[in-house]
Amino acid sequence: MAIIKFAIPKGSLGEPTFEFLAQAGYTISSGKRSYRPKINDPEIAIKMLRPQEIPVYVSEGIEDIAITGEDWITETKVNVEILTSLEYGRVKLVAGAPKDLPADSLSEVLEVLWSQNRNIRISTEYLKICSDWVKSNPVYKKKYGDNDPMIITPWWKIGDNPKVSIFLSFGATEAKTPEVADIIMDVTETGSTLSANNIKIIETVMESNAVLIANKDALADPIKREKIYDVLALFRGVVSGRKNLHIFVNVKKENLQKLLLMLPALKNPTVSPLSDENWLSINTVVDKQRFLKLLPSLRKFAQGLVVHEPRQILSLDELPKGVDSEE
């Protein structure tokens, strides 16, 4: 019987999420098109949802934990616990304008369109983030005071400044300029799609990646909390595994201390004797970014280097203690 309900995202985060789950040791069956795929842990009930919806469902306790983007947590302003960054699905939420508009920031766009006595139209899926971004701009404050931009959806309008309108976009936001919108706000990885649609980035509003979140009441439940911590341990292990390399290397005893000074590890490298009493084996974890810098020293002082990409590195002592564990 399932102990926790776990929502995972569809859309652009879907494929990398399946890859991440597989690296964590979870097998997902019933196909990636099913909204209720099976998982090889009977204590987890999994469901696929749009990342835009996930934070609200977790906040309301409909789901216990979930993977979603930081951008949608900011947009929905929900009260959830962010357990850890999963460090994939990295995007930038940016504002863009037509390349031929003589302005390179929101302030300049506001000035140009104000001088032309034009109303300003913005298209985005991120209504709240966009409204806050516009209202915080000093030029907007100077010209419109504390008035809220109009937020317009097919169902309702809110706000008190019809001179600046934010329209809800249902996708293909980059296609909205210049006929429908003067500015767009959308996520991008490289900016190439925006550029191909004659849009220049005028500001980066925020950066986002996938995160694991939890309902706070679920974390207060001892049984659910223990299961959530199991998932958290596996996920942190994947994140650490993707950043590090596991190396085995042989070294002469006389060079051991020289090499140990260069080799970081979770705590200390493991040093083991070999059949030749003059040689030792070192087993350690090295940051991928440092490995190439360490290679010349390894070549100088060691032999027989073996390098693995670990599936996971679990630093279990960093997790909160379980309710039944001993301190």
- Write the pLDDT tens digit of every residue in 266-285: 567 889 999 999 999 999 88
Residue type, 106: L
Any bridge partners for residue 206, and if so which? 93
CB atoms within 10 A of CB 215: 26
| Long-range contact pairs involving 47-53 (C-beta distance under 8 Å, separation at least 24) | 47/5, 47/6, 47/7, 47/8, 48/7, 48/8, 48/9, 48/10, 48/14, 49/7, 49/8, 49/9, 49/10, 50/9, 50/10, 50/11, 51/9, 51/10, 51/11, 51/13, 52/76, 52/125
Share of the chain above pLDDT 90, in %: 78
- Integer Cα distance of 327 and 323 in angstroms: 10
Any bridge partners for residue 4, and if so which? 44
What's the rounded mean pLDDT across residues 8-36?
A: 88
Q: Give the global pTM.
A: 0.89
The pLDDT confidence band at residue 324, using thresholds 50, 70 and 90, is: very low
For 215-254, the pLDDT digits (tens) are 999 999 999 999 999 999 999 999 999 999 999 999 999 9
- Integer Cα distance of 306 and 247 in angstroms: 6
Domains and their CATH numbers in the chain: 4-89+209-220 (3.40.190.10), 92-207 (3.40.190.10), 243-316 (3.30.70.120)
Any bridge partners for residue 19, and if so which? none
What's the rounded mean pLDDT across residues 44-63?
A: 97
In this predicted structure, the answer to whether residue 138 has a pLDDT above a threshold of 90 is yes
Q: What is the pLDDT of residue 34?
A: 75
